[in-house]
Structure 1
């Protein structure tokens, strides 16, 4: 399986579609997968809110749904309904084809909310996107894009959090975007446009492109930026911001956050693209670059409102100079369970076997003699294309400065045969990273499309808790250190609509397997995740597992009042706290006051 590649530069043709992100009250929206349960629910909410939904598409269907036309193809919908945007609500195994259909029909804005779309399917889609100038993609793995001032939603963001205003928001994480929205609403500012670029490895719109739109948007006075680990999007954003400040007389203030200061090596931290590979900057490097560019950095999203207030003058006029303040807090949270699983890594011995048999590469374990250099095949996330990675050293602290990325068609003659074998193995195994000691591959290729079963079988079976978590649709991440706080959190992806109260209980069981845990902090901000479902799961876990350690609960977002009421009515000794800062502080306080792990048997 091969994927066409291109140079590192972003297509100027595709760049012409950036204005398509400026949705508003007149934006005509359709849904692909219109008659599905989740699409129906979200469409009803959006219609009631004021979004101009004009119909939808379901293959093989023709008629009405919610009183609106249903057509069998996107092309017919374009001809008859004249949409400006489509929200794609189909399962991951059908999502790539649905995106391609929308591109071919030249829908101006395509919003893909599905997660677990195979990486190689997305790379092929980017080849299509680079060659055209009509359609702009947001996502996949995105909560969507929403105009609070235009009351237009193409996605599943929790509407009660939004307030029409003048703050533009761009975020990799859906849940972090909800927290940012809630913070700016509490501060009384409200939002103009919120772009959820999504947590995918190669999203259709990245942070830099979203910033460019908000930077020129006359309805936006200040910008909140929520990034995370993985790739170079944060560095690209910092470069754009620095250039923006130098060429703009009165630049809009930008407040930023980078999630993932503490990460587990070789683990995906929730989102498909939330992992750091060879030569990529970590969270601290991105934070330093953004601060150098003039961004005010905060440590968690609840601070956005108050810090934006400090950055804005009376009447919401942008300040002329940027502040470079902000400190980071390393909290002692170490065990986390959440929805979503995406990637696996093969250990060195398995990787060497694969290279010898499939790639015909002469390789062996390092003997301790000679100089080690890096030659790998990976993904250039900025170019949205596979690339060759090369460095004269393998030392992690030097890779960022020394690593070179090249398109796959520019290999050195003397290495051509080796590189060709590496590239062949990389493509055939649907990898995102291939070195002689590590092979990272996309599990979505198996889960969504049934591909790469043999490689997946080799990778699984090494960690009992990880495997048990995966079977329950949960990501289990064990961090280092002696921190006594375990966390149960949610993602914002479409897969969250399959979570149940039993899933929540199973999350508690996994966390309690770690003997270090003396306090559990449940932090939920739901879009698709229902607050009452989470509350029922907490109560179920408390009763059936005979929990005897403190539980701090914060439930926000969809059905938050119902969830909070269930917790209050349960009579259980739970610490229900609405504010994130206070809830986190309480969890830390309880962990310090609990000298040992109580018997929970």
Structure 2
């Protein structure tokens, strides 16, 4: 049983005083656990084991070795059923025993998605202060159950899932798989949904001579254990942080909540810390999941432009590419009058360019293992089924459902994820059939474990503007939808219904299920069997086989994009549009950004006859620049390429990669600056 007590930390751990709200009051008391540093005692769960079924990858060992060399205070680890030593550190069979004997402040969970929920729950029960989960594709309903646990306690704080982790550049403490060569101790705090965009932001602030204090990977999952406001509260009280970078994207309302917090912060602070931000997904494909599990918009959620407007309205400087963060923060810090506008003194002597830094740079084998943790070959996360199949599922539950006859006012009723409350919710809208059904959407959250409270039905009926004769039918429809949602692990059950003779009749349905429940844990095989691949784009299906997320964008786009990382892929499409270009696709090579995957990506892009040039935009945090360059050459050789290719490679081994491209003798154009590369791609596409 998880005890409901206030966390009393050791004298070595720094704590701050935060105001708490009625919502998640107990869990909010754990925000101070995010302040990691040299004092932080770290353990690894899955310390000695292989990562999932990938027996060629010894993930935790490679990561721990590098982190220890960098300075992280790893004190041991946990592998079920084992007692002994690994890397000269103790290995214990349970997290509870590790907590008692090793007294960790934090745990890094390095297990596969199907094992991660159990590992997180074990860490919560052992009351470890900070739990960092990097695995992607943890089923949504498992995460909702975990959040239901977290809300009832005040000792453990979760970072992730689907996150690169958390890292203190000043304190030399890394819990995650961030590329160490990018980091330099400094004064900028960073919080981000996207791992790759955060690495670009880190590299930019390093090149600007500012460095970083604390970087928190909020992660791209549907329900994050730590959000923007949590991070902002840490940065506000952190004397080592002088400026703040926030990186968001489509999905949820965390950026809007951050804007509201920033407004209040600026009103109460005589000299607020400057903040710069980037929001990805302005040109996201409607109704699609853009690489990250949480990068899609649910009914009633704001789009990327709305988030940008809210942030700009409270004085946040918004940039359109992460490479601009360094210069933007230098200007903002200068205007703020803060004395510490440069890097931390402890970091000045350690500054290196990323392509020349040798100590701590991941090997090819280690880099591949890190990437596998964040993104496995299971890229597809959502499963939308045909409407007729959705109506069949409702009829099986005794719900009146058929095609719309053209009579009756349509209203919207859905069961979905409430990202603000970290729980399921009912979404209702009284909008007419001629209007936007999401325009008046209102959420009614309910606890995952306790289920829907029928006492909420009258308020939902009132919002839907139902007639008196049909109000009594609403609980039956809601309970039927909730039952389906819970038992079949849906993330969205959206219906349109009409009132008919005192009853409610469903006349339209859009049902989305969590495909990770099948792919990660082999649950919901029946629902997975409802997938109809003949309804999907053949190119997208072909890419999926190789672990590549490819989405063909509508319109007359003529620039094929090939990018590593979902956030960076979204931003590439957006930034090309700002420069006057039109992307034909979204493509995220994900964690399999190898030479072979680059070639496969070219094959998929070349099937789109609209494409006149291919733009390769790679940030080599963990991916190596020379490996990507060789992949480009491999594609030219084996595919007999006829189209020009523009290649932007930054980060690890960037000079080697650029040299390979420049000396190839092929129609390739190598750049390190994004704007110059984008301009060349647009010129070639329109030439």
Q: How does the TM-score come out when normalised to structure 2?
A: 0.79
Deviates more, 1:469-478 or 1:342-351: 342-351
Q: Secondary structure at the match of 1:411?
A: helix
The aligned counterpart of 1:441 is: 513
The aligned counterpart of 2:416 is: 378
Map 1:541-556 to 2 at 5 A: 541-556=635-650
Map 1:332-351 to 2 at 5 A: 340-351=379-390
What is the CA–CA distance in structure 2 between the aligned matches of 1:557 and 1:239, rounded to whole Å? 34
The aligned counterpart of 1:210 is: 231
What is the CA–CA distance in structure 2 between the aligned matches of 1:38 and 1:116, rounded to whole Å? 17
Q: Secondary structure at the match of 1:458?
A: coil
Q: Secondary structure at the match of 2:136?
A: coil
- Going from structure 1 to structure 2, the CA distance change for 1:108 and 1:316 (only over 3 Å counts) comes to farther
What is the CA–CA distance in structure 2 between the aligned matches of 1:72 and 1:224, rounded to whole Å? 39
Question: Are residues 1:246 and 2:285 paired?
Answer: no
Question: Which has the higher Rg, Structure 1 or Structure 2?
Answer: 2
Does structure 2 retain, via aligned residues, the 8 Å contact 1:492–1:526? no
Q: Deviations over 1:294-320 (max 9, x none)?
A: 21111111111111122122796189x
Does structure 2 retain, via aligned residues, the 8 Å contact 1:460–1:467? no
Q: Deviations over 1:194-213 (max 9, x none)?
A: 10100000010011211121
Deviates more, 1:206-215 or 1:455-464: 455-464
Structure 1 residue 459: Cα displacement: 2.2
Q: Deviations over 1:347-395 (max 9, x none)?
A: 32222122222x3211222233332111111111010100000011167
What is the CA–CA distance in structure 1 between the aligned matches of 2:417 and 2:170, rounded to whole Å? 37
Q: Secondary structure at the match of 1:377?
A: strand
The aligned counterpart of 2:651 is: 557
Question: Are residues 1:588 and 2:677 paired?
Answer: no
What is the CA–CA distance in structure 1 between the aligned matches of 2:310 and 2:439, rounded to whole Å? 14
What is the CA–CA distance in structure 2 between the aligned matches of 1:522 and 1:400, rounded to whole Å? 37
What is the CA–CA distance in structure 1 between the aligned matches of 2:531 and 2:414, rounded to whole Å? 19
Structure 1 residue 527: Cα displacement: 3.9
What is the CA–CA distance in structure 2 between the aligned matches of 1:238 and 1:305, rounded to whole Å? 21
Question: Are residues 1:44 and 2:90 paired?
Answer: no
The aligned counterpart of 1:422 is: 481
Question: Are residues 1:220 and 2:235 paired?
Answer: no
Q: Secondary structure at the match of 2:556?
A: coil
The aligned counterpart of 2:546 is: 472
Q: Secondary structure at the match of 1:280?
A: coil
What is the CA–CA distance in structure 2 between the aligned matches of 1:431 and 1:206, rounded to whole Å? 23
Deviates more, 1:202-211 or 1:527-536: 527-536
The aligned counterpart of 2:560 is: 486
Structure 1 residue 67: Cα displacement: 1.9
The aligned counterpart of 2:43 is: 30
- Going from structure 1 to structure 2, the CA distance change for 1:340 and 1:585 (only over 3 Å counts) comes to farther
Does structure 1 retain, via aligned residues, the 8 Å contact 2:661–2:669? no
Q: Which of 596, 599, 603 is the equivalent residue of 1:509? A: 603
For structure 2, which runs of at least 5 residues remain unmatched after alignment?
A: 1-20, 51-57, 341-376, 446-451, 459-470, 496-508, 568-587
Q: How does the TM-score come out when normalised to structure 1?
A: 0.90
Does structure 1 retain, via aligned residues, the 8 Å contact 2:75–2:90? yes
Deviates more, 1:491-500 or 1:557-566: 491-500
Does structure 2 retain, via aligned residues, the 8 Å contact 1:266–1:345? no
Structure 1 residue 542: Cα displacement: 1.3
Question: Are residues 1:146 and 2:167 paired?
Answer: yes
Deviates more, 1:255-264 or 1:367-376: 367-376
Map 1:258-297 to 2 at 5 A: 258-297=279-318
Aligned length: 567
Q: Secondary structure at the match of 1:132?
A: coil
What is the CA–CA distance in structure 2 between the aligned matches of 1:66 and 1:498, rounded to whole Å? 28
Deviates more, 1:545-554 or 1:575-584: 575-584
The aligned counterpart of 1:572 is: 666
Question: Are residues 1:309 and 2:330 paired?
Answer: yes
- Going from structure 1 to structure 2, the CA distance change for 1:430 and 1:522 (only over 3 Å counts) comes to same
Q: Which of 25, 29, 33 is the equivalent residue of 1:12? A: 25
Q: Which of 220, 227, 234 is the equivalent residue of 1:199? A: 220
The aligned counterpart of 1:237 is: 258
The aligned counterpart of 1:158 is: 179
Does structure 2 retain, via aligned residues, the 8 Å contact 1:339–1:491? no
Does structure 1 retain, via aligned residues, the 8 Å contact 2:250–2:297? yes
Q: Secondary structure at the match of 2:75?
A: strand
